[in-house]
Amino acid sequence: MAERIAIASDHAAIALKASLTNWLREHGHEVTDLGPHGHESVDYPDYGFALARAVEEGQADFGIALCGSGIGISIAVNRNPAARCALVNEPYSARLARHHNNANIIAMGARLIGEDMAKACVHAFLEATYEGGRHEQRVAKLSNFAKEPA
């Protein structure tokens, strides 16, 4: 099924972002590239925030966040309570991110993951569905930060 996907990166992941964007479009997905569009150094939080906002506002069904390690941009994305971003390095974790955590965004590190593995992660993520059930209460808490455990 074709999805609306927003994708963003920092300067370290420009090439991977371009490759994934083309590959996703070839497979019928509608892709919004939120940038950056050049190789000059940029601040990943700016692009992570924009990506989270695009998913929160319904401009995209899912998001893909990329930076050198995937760590920084995933932290930035997860500052938005509507974002459930999982840093993944292989397809199994990408699938579980959807099955158990209802992740709406995945993050990957361009310096740590190859292009083929990144595509495999995206494929697994998009093919998976949220299981709900026993995970519902936990996922609901992710958007409602509480200082004390329930």
Residues labelled catalytic: 67, 100
Q: CA-CA distances (angstroms) from residue 132 to 29, 115, 121, 129, 138? A: 25, 31, 21, 9, 10
Q: CB 133: neighbour CB atoms within 10 A? A: 7
Tell me how far apart the alpha carbons of residues 143 and 93 are, in angstroms, rounded to a whole number.
21
Q: Are 50 and 44 in contact (CB under 8 A)?
A: no
Tell me how far apart the alpha carbons of residues 37 and 18 are, in angstroms, rounded to a whole number.
9
List the beta bridge partners of residue 126. none
DSSP string, 106-139: EEEETTTS-HHHHHHHHHHHHH-----GGGHHHH
